[in-house]
Amino acid sequence: DNSCEDYHIGKYGRLRLNYIKKYKRGLYTELMINGTLSKHLSDIENAANKRISLIIKQLAESENVDEDLKSSNQLAWVQAMNNIKNRAEEIVYNEIIYV
């Protein structure tokens, strides 16, 4: 059964799907034939989310973007966290999604 209902496929799974449909036709076809496309996309989704969380935590720590900054200057904290999240996503795109 290849139904998407069994697996959570969010943003990163959809990005992966679009990528393999366009650039990795052999892999896409193989996953479809084997009935493992939804599981593959769900695995990518989970791996990407875990990796992004880890990178965000590491970057925030190394750049002192912490609760002190959040309480003293919320706007600076939000800007820093948005910047960190964008960088984390770029890393994950290159490590997990577009490979």
Contacts of 33 (CB under 8 A, 6+ apart): none
Using one digit for the tens of pLDDT, what is the confidence trace for 39-74?
A: 999 999 999 999 999 999 999 999 999 999 999 999
Task: Select from 27, 25, 52 the least CA-distant residue to 40.
Answer: 27
| Reported pTM | 0.89
> How many angstroms separate the CA atoms of 79 and 82, rounded?
5
Using one digit for the tens of pLDDT, what is the confidence trace for 4-33?
A: 456 889 999 999 999 999 999 999 999 999
Predicted confidence at residue 2, as pLDDT, reads 46
Predicted confidence at residue 6, as pLDDT, reads 67
CA 87 vs. chain centroid, Å, equals: 11
46 C-beta neighbours (distance < 10 Å), count: 16
Report, as an integer, the average pLDDT of 76-87.
98
Predicted confidence at residue 7, as pLDDT, reads 83
> How many angstroms separate the CA atoms of 66 and 77, rounded?
8
